[in-house]
Amino acid sequence: MDMATETGSKGRILFDTYNIVLPKGTGVATYARALIRTATQIGYQSELIYDYQGDIPKNLELAKAILFEDKEKRLTKLDHVRNMVEAWSNPWKSAKAIKLPDASFLFEEPIRARMMDTDHRYIARNLYSIAGRFFSAHRRLYPIAFDHKPDAAHFTFQLPVRVKGAANLYTLHDLVPLIMPYATQENRKNSYAMLKEIARTADHIVTVSEHSRQDIINVLGVPENRVTNTYQAIDLPRSAIDKPRANVEDEVTGIFNLDPDGYYLFFGAIEPKKNVRRLIEAYLSSRVRRPLVIVSSGGWLNKVELQMIAENPRRADNSGIMHVGYLPYEFLVSLIKGARAVTFPSLYEGFGLPVLEAMALGTPVLTSNTSSLSEVAGDAAVTVDPISVESIRDGLRKLDADDDLRAELRVRGLAQAQKFSADAYRDRLASLYAKVL
Task: Write the DSSP string, 284-327.
Answer: HHHT-SSPEEEE-S-BSS-HHHHHHHHHSB--TTS-SEEEE---
Asked whether the whole model's pTM tops 0.75, one would answer yes
Fold (topology level) of 238-418: Rossmann fold (3.40.50)
Q: Could you tell me if 11 and 154 are in contact, meaning their C-beta atoms sit under 8 angstroms apart?
A: no
The angle, 0 to 180 degrees and rounded to 10, between the axes of the packed helices 77-89 and 127-138 is: 40
* Domains 12-233+422-436 and 238-418 agree in fold: yes
> In the chain, where are the structural domains located?
12-233+422-436, 238-418
Q: What count of Cα atoms within 13 Å lies in the side-chain half-sphere of residue 39?
A: 27
Q: Could you tell me if 97 and 144 are in contact, meaning their C-beta atoms sit under 8 angstroms apart?
A: yes
In terms of DSSP bridges, do strands 120-125 and 98-99 run parallel, antiparallel, or are they unpaired? antiparallel
CA 54 → CA 17, 57, 130, 305, 327, distances in Å? 17, 9, 12, 37, 30
CATH number (2.60.120, 1.20.58, 3.40.50, 3.40.1710) of 12-233+422-436 reads 3.40.50
145 phi and psi angles, rounded to 5 deg: -105, 145
- Return the amino acid letter for 324: V
- What tens-digit pLDDT sequence spans the chain (437 residues)? 444 445 457 999 999 999 988 766 678 988 999 999 999 999 999 999 999 888 888 888 777 666 665 454 455 666 667 777 777 776 768 899 999 887 666 666 656 666 677 778 999 998 998 999 999 999 999 999 999 999 999 999 999 999 999 999 999 999 998 898 888 877 888 999 999 999 999 999 999 999 999 999 999 999 999 999 999 988 788 899 999 999 999 999 999 999 999 999 999 999 999 999 999 999 999 999 999 999 998 889 999 999 999 999 999 899 999 999 989 889 999 999 999 999 999 999 999 999 999 999 999 999 999 999 999 999 999 999 999 999 999 999 999 999 999 999 999 999 999 999 999 999 999 999 999 98
